[in-house]
Amino acid sequence: MIPVRGYDGHKVGVLGLGRSGLATARALRAGGAVPVCWDDSPDARQKAEAEGFETADLNRDASWEGMVALIASPGIPHLYPAPHPIIDRALRLGVAVDNDIGLFFRSFATDDWAELDSVPRVIAVTGSNGKSTTTALIHHCLKAAGIPSQMAGNIGRGVLDLDKPGDGEVVVLELSSYQTELARALAPDIAIFLNLSPDHLDRHGGMGGYFAAKARLFTQGGPERSIIGVDQPEGRFLANQMREVAGNGDPVIRISNTQQIKDGWTVFARKGFIAEWRRGRQVASIDMRAMVTLPGAHNHQNACAAYAALRAVGMGPRQIEEGFASYPGLAHRSQLVAERGGVRFVNDSKATNADAAEKALLAFDRVRWIAGGKPKEGGIAALRPHFGRVAKAYLIGEAAEEFAATLGGTPHEICHDMATAVARAAADAEPGDVVLLAPACASFDQYRSFEVRGDHFVELVHALG
């Protein structure tokens, strides 16, 4: 646990008592604060009370007496499309609003670090797609090289639930826009921006607000090293902002999977290889073509970002290559589930929007595509240029009819549910095909999360016999 500093003896509200909320309450109490907790769910309140936490209805004025801060869980809106009533009350009362990420960064470093040979460092990863894979890949490579590491944030543990870091340890955080937007303190040693595609726009008031939320990790966080994907205008702008005034590019490592960049410190993917260039010359390259757990250009971008971060903490190219080769893959992200009779079954249930599904489709040449669920704005219209890769689509959930209309003459079948889709795709598949779950939809019409959806796909594949 990371005890929260700065609130000793003070009353602090905790809004939302899920995984991060309860971890926040524990860390506040460990640091001497007096947490007062609230969640709309009676079950969540009961769980907090069982751990000895005080609960109080923060919708009532009396609960706010003496409160100095309100810590909100990331899923609770604080500005757009409208502030949660309790957060709005805090804003009206002048009570500081923060989240667990802000508490983590203000509490991570401690006085006893002066006794360490090498102080702990934080790598923070943000972007629209690929955050989880990049975070997990960095963490895996560090562990494989014998470097102590912990992983948290939007993946794994809550940030305040981490163990106290030791000498030379590296903490790797996946941070969503929800987390970076509200945090009052951001101080990563190394920050990564992967890419930007439309998502959560109602929460951020449009693309400008969405980009601004992610950019705070850099512009407010002031990392020693910024690793920035420059295949989009937003990334190029951010990289320019983080360069030193004199034009020295060393604080920024630019990454790309669409272009060769050979000035400054760069890492780019081309024709299945990752190349590192510094000061106008190539210093290393890695052959990614045989790495089955990192397929496709989108995973090569993730690998570029991970490679740059690992180089920034002092790992050598060959160490990194060995880590990539032993990476087992991350569940629900281009996860190779099985191979039967020359047919591969791949679980990319995390592909919850069209942009992520596009990256999954581009990773394979001939796809039996399982898609659908609770549709998002725009559907799959943007994927029309890639329908030629689809041998046949098997459509499930609320989006099935809409997706069928968009697919037009591309072979497709409305299957309604996952079991039917897997059975039909497996029966139709030929050697060389990939049966790919890349829904381009949220899961909430049929599953409580994309993880449960992916687990069901894996279960059905293994049951094929």
Average pLDDT over residues 113-129: 93
DSSP classification of residue 61: G
Say which CATH number the domain at 160 has: 3.40.1190.10
pLDDT exceeds 60 at position 248: no
Confidence grade of residue 247 (pLDDT, cut at 50, 70, 90)? low
CB 229 within 8 A of CB 255: yes
Rg of the chain's alpha carbons, rounded to an integer?
A: 23
Domain co-membership, 259 together with 386: no
CB 248 within 8 A of CB 225: no
Average pLDDT over residues 426-430: 97
Structural domain includes residue 56: yes
Question: Of 22-26, 121-125, 245-249, 333-337, where does mean pLDDT reach its minimum?
Answer: 245-249
Is residue 452 packed enough to be buried (19+ CB in 10 Å), middle (13-18) or exposed (0-12)? Answer: middle
Domain co-membership, 366 together with 445: yes
pLDDT exceeds 70 at position 465: yes
Structural domain includes residue 221: yes
- Cα distance between residue 461 and residue 110, in whole Å: 49
Average pLDDT over residues 323-344: 92
Domain co-membership, 176 together with 322: yes
Domain co-membership, 110 together with 54: no
Domain co-membership, 115 together with 219: yes
CB 21 within 8 A of CB 159: no
- Cα distance between residue 391 and residue 429, in whole Å: 9
Structural domain includes residue 352: yes
- pLDDT tens digits for range 387-414: 999 999 999 999 999 999 999 999 999 9
- Cα distance between residue 350 and residue 348, in whole Å: 5
Return the pLDDT at 154. Answer: 87
Beta-carbon contacts of 115 under 8 Å, excluding residues fewer than 6 positions away, are none
> With b meaning 16 or more CB within 10 Å and e meaning fewer, what string describes 412-450?
bbebeebeebbebbbebbeeebbbbbbbbbbbeebbeeb
pLDDT exceeds 90 at position 377: no
Question: Of 154-158, 375-379, 404-408, where does mean pLDDT reach its minimum?
Answer: 154-158
CB 349 within 8 A of CB 454: yes
Structural domain includes residue 417: yes
The annotated binding site is made up of: 127-133
Domain co-membership, 227 together with 269: yes
Confidence grade of residue 17 (pLDDT, cut at 50, 70, 90)? very high
Q: Which one of 76, 98, 120 terminates a domain?
A: 98
CB 446 within 8 A of CB 396: yes
How many CB atoms lie under 10 A from the CB of residue 65? 7
Average pLDDT over residues 157-183: 95
- Cα distance between residue 40 and residue 17, in whole Å: 9
Structural domain includes residue 400: yes
Domain co-membership, 111 together with 230: yes
The annotated binding site for ATP is made up of: 127-133
Beta-carbon contacts of 437 under 8 Å, excluding residues fewer than 6 positions away, are 346, 347, 348, 349, 370, 453, 454, 457
Structural domain includes residue 4: no
- Cα distance between residue 316 and residue 422, in whole Å: 42
- Reduced to 3 states (helix: H, G, I; strand: E, B; else coil), residue 129 is coil
Q: What is the mean pLDDT of the chain?
A: 94
Domain co-membership, 238 together with 145: yes
What would the DSSP string read from start to end of 265-334?
EEEEEETTEEEEEETTEEEEEEE-TT-TTS-HHHHHHHHHHHHHHHHHTT--HHHHHHHHHH---BTTBS
In Å, how far from its chain's centre is CA 303?
Answer: 14
Domain co-membership, 306 together with 429: no
Instruction: Based on DSSP, count helices (H) and strands (E) in the chain, helices before strands.
Output: 15, 20
- Cα distance between residue 217 and residue 14, in whole Å: 23
Return the pLDDT at 455. Answer: 97
Domain range spanning residue 369?
335-462
- pLDDT tens digits for range 316-330: 999 999 999 999 888
Domain co-membership, 317 together with 339: no
**Identity of residue 408:** G
Domain co-membership, 360 together with 289: no
Q: Give the pair of three-digit tokens for residue 219.
A: 């512009």
Q: Give the pair of three-digit tokens for residue 12.
A: 């602090």
- Cα distance between residue 30 and residue 380, in whole Å: 48
Q: Which one of 298, 326, 354 terminates a domain?
A: 326
CB 257 within 8 A of CB 269: yes
Domain co-membership, 291 together with 350: no
Say which CATH number the domain at 55 has: 3.40.50.720
Structural domain includes residue 71: yes
pLDDT exceeds 70 at position 249: no
Q: Which one of 57, 73, 98 terminates a domain?
A: 98
Structural domain includes residue 6: no
| Domains: count for the chain | 3
Average pLDDT over residues 84-105: 96
Q: Which long-range contacts (CB under 8 A, 24 or more apart) does 269-272 make?
A: 269/297, 269/300, 269/301, 269/303, 269/304, 272/300
Say which CATH number the domain at 341 has: 3.90.190.20
- pLDDT tens digits for range 347-372: 999 999 898 899 899 989 999 999 99
